Amino acid sequence: MRMSFWQVTMKRSVRLSKTYFILGVVMTVYGIILSNVLTFVPANLATPTPVDLTNSFPVLSVALLSLSAVLFSLPVVMLFVYDKNSGVLEYLLSTGLDQLDIFKGYVKASLSLAAYLLVFSTITNSAVGILLGTNLGLLASMGVLTFAIGISEVFLVTVCMMAFSSLQKTPMGANQPLGVVIGVIPMFPALILPLIFPSHAIVIDILIAAVTLIVSLALLLSIGRLILREKLLP
């Protein structure tokens, strides 16, 4: 059966490093615990706090679950650097692919991997929450937020990491962590603003996710045009 470029890339990434997948799953489990932990706190134990913990605390897990998706998809970008250094990208270019085709392939692979984990974490989180009696509305909004922020984060991190890896002169991929740092910057407002404005938490996070997605898409199209084919040579 013939697979498309991004599917093969995704499959190769899974084989490349299992550590990141395990880390991603472990962080997902943490996220699920975090989002449901308040169920165990007796209602009469509530102490006066400057923020509404019952509604805002589970939102913290959105950041954790999104970060786990970033970790889960990191091997795709590691594979990108490896393929650049080993001449695989050079060969792909010679077959008629453009740099944008190549970038898109790795982004699709990265987003697909992230989507698998996010679907898994949303379903598991909802199931656990229903069993423990967590507020259904909260679970639903967390599912939406986790997916929106997670996908947009992964998109931005992947594009940034590929851009930095392509532009650096030494072929070691040492600039990749810069991509992670820049990519997770939108996660901080997505984490803090809902705590300050709990009544607008969902709108704020959806907006941040939408802006991140648009920026990532613009960045992808830009690097596809601005980064020359020669930057993908070993």
Partner 1 sequence: MQKLQLQEVSAGYGSEEVIHRISLEMTEPSIYVVLGPNGAGKTTLFRTICGILKPFSGQAKFDEMDLFTSKEARRRIAYLSHLNALPEEMTVFNALKYYADVEGGDVEHVLDLLSLSDLRDKKFSSLSQGQKKRASVGKIFLRERDLYLLDEPTSNVDPKISKEIRDILINLSKDKFVLYSSHNLYEAREIGTYLILIKNGELKFFDKIENVKTRQYRVGIKTLNDVSKLLPESKFENGYHVVTVGSPREVAKIVNNLVKLGAEIVELRELDNPLQEFFEEE
Secondary structure (DSSP) of 169-211:
SSTT-TTHHHHHHHHHTTHHHHHHHHHHSGGGHHHHHHHHHHH
Instruction: Kindly list the distances between the CA atom of residue 72 and the CA atoms of 2, 109, 177, 180, in Å, as whole numbers in the listed order.
Output: 25, 11, 15, 13
Query: Which stretch, 1-9, 40-48, 69-77, 109-117, contacts partner 1 (CB under 8 A)?
Result: 1-9
Q: Count interface residues toward partner 1 (CB under 8 A).
A: 26
CA quadruple 206, 208, 174, 105: dihedral positive or negative?
positive
Distance of closest approach, residue 90 Cβ to partner 1, in angstroms: 6
Residue 91 sits in the site that holds partner 1 (CB under 8 A): yes
Q: Give, as ranges, the residues between 15 and 34 that touch partner 1 (CB under 8 A).
A: 15-16
Binding residue (CB under 8 A) for partner 1 from 86, 171, 174, 199? 86
Residue 96 sits in the site that holds partner 1 (CB under 8 A): yes
Binding residue (CB under 8 A) for partner 1 from 2, 43, 45, 133? 2
Separation of alpha carbons 177 and 182, rounded Å? 9
Instruction: Kindly list the distances between the CA atom of residue 71 and the CA atoms of 67, 97, 113, 145, 180, in Å, as whole numbers in the listed order.
Output: 6, 28, 10, 18, 10
Residue 228 sits in the site that holds partner 1 (CB under 8 A): yes
Q: Give, as ranges, the residues between 44 and 63 that touch partner 1 (CB under 8 A).
A: none
- Specify the DSSP class assigned to residue 41: S
| Cβ neighbour number for residue 169 with a 10 Å cutoff | 7
Distance of closest approach, residue 70 Cβ to partner 1, in angstroms: 23
Nearer to partner 1, 75 or 186 (CB): 75
Residue 42 sits in the site that holds partner 1 (CB under 8 A): no
CA quadruple 186, 170, 114, 60: dihedral positive or negative?
negative
Residue 173, amino acid? G
Residues in contact with partner 1, shown as a per-residue x/- string from 98 to 137 under the rule CB under 8 A: x---------------------------------------
Distance of closest approach, residue 228 Cβ to partner 1, in angstroms: 7
Nearer to partner 1, 105 or 183 (CB): 105
